[in-house]
Homo-oligomer: A and B are copies of this chain.
């Protein structure tokens, strides 16, 4: 089924008036009845699209079906922690079941999906949500990974039991046999507004790993890392074909950036990006201030969902709901990544040696920026 003409018309109107363009319209794909029934029963948004690639002579198409899940929390934050967690697991299970019924090969959950995004409160009580890499949530997902032969990206609040029980913001990559392939820890930690997560965990120490799964090479750029083009670049240099960006971000702060940064990363690095943001407003028992001079309040603002996929050819899917839980599915032929590398030649023309040199010099305390001053300014100062 082709996207309706209204969609194409809107694209054209938006281009003219807003200067925006979503690339070529994508075909929708039909998912099995089981999936739609689950989406009705559990009230979640369900959409599916198809990114195609050219045929090649020597490689078969490598079409993988990829899913993104966005969700609100399930119980008030005043409920006992284990009950909150169980309730979230329950609602996420319905969406993974729909993904499984749809033949999804790789799925990614949202950042710290097993808890409210409580870091705004700066209260250490929420550390109790943390788990070791092979904890309760991972085990829960390992069963589902085995059941559906699905690779699952599982972003948790990690308790590092082997290193002094410190916390990390971590994605655990679960293979389609239910095994843990490895982990990635969030590289860039925000200190902005209510996102002062450095109260809880530090910058990740796992580099920029790419995980070679049976469905393709994937990587995870967690949340605030999407603002850092170098972070995206590093996953590309290590060979990623799909990079997930599990996030938790609110409307007033980041919404105008949301449709830009992931698409740019997909274009610049010739890979697919799956962007996920949680939904809903989460209220906490004790009010807190936000460093903005406004009165104390008890919530973070609205997490605006809007999960979507971006392609290396600059096209993207429409986004999921701004308000409802959702499962977004896309078929993508991973051959497109190298096809775009060959077409545009960004890596070939990148002149990395210039930038390796610049960054090395920039790191030094006595770095002198390359500034050419208008001599008339110098005269005025004399």
Chain A contact residues, CB within 8 Å of chain B: 7, 10-11, 13-24, 173, 175-177, 179, 181-182, 187-192, 203, 207-214, 217, 224, 227-230, 232-234, 237-239, 255-261, 263-264, 267-268, 306, 308, 313-319, 322, 343-346, 348-356, 358-360, 362-363, 369-377, 380
Contacts and interface: CB of A to CB of B under 8 A. Distances in A.
A189 B191 CA distance: 38
Contacts of A308: 19
Contact of A239 (B177, B354, B369): B369
Tallying the copies of this chain within the complex gives 2
User: A-side binding surface: helix, strand, loop or mixed?
Assistant: mixed
A181 B374 contact: yes
A18 B11 contact: yes
A23 B258 CA distance: 10
A155 to B, nearest CB: 17
Nearest to A379: B177
B227 A230 contact: no
Contacts of A355: 230, 233-234, 359
A214, A234, A264, A318: residue with the most chain B Cβ atoms closer than 10 Å: A264
Given A10-B17, A260-B263, A359-B352, A372 B314 contact: no
Nearest to A311: B256
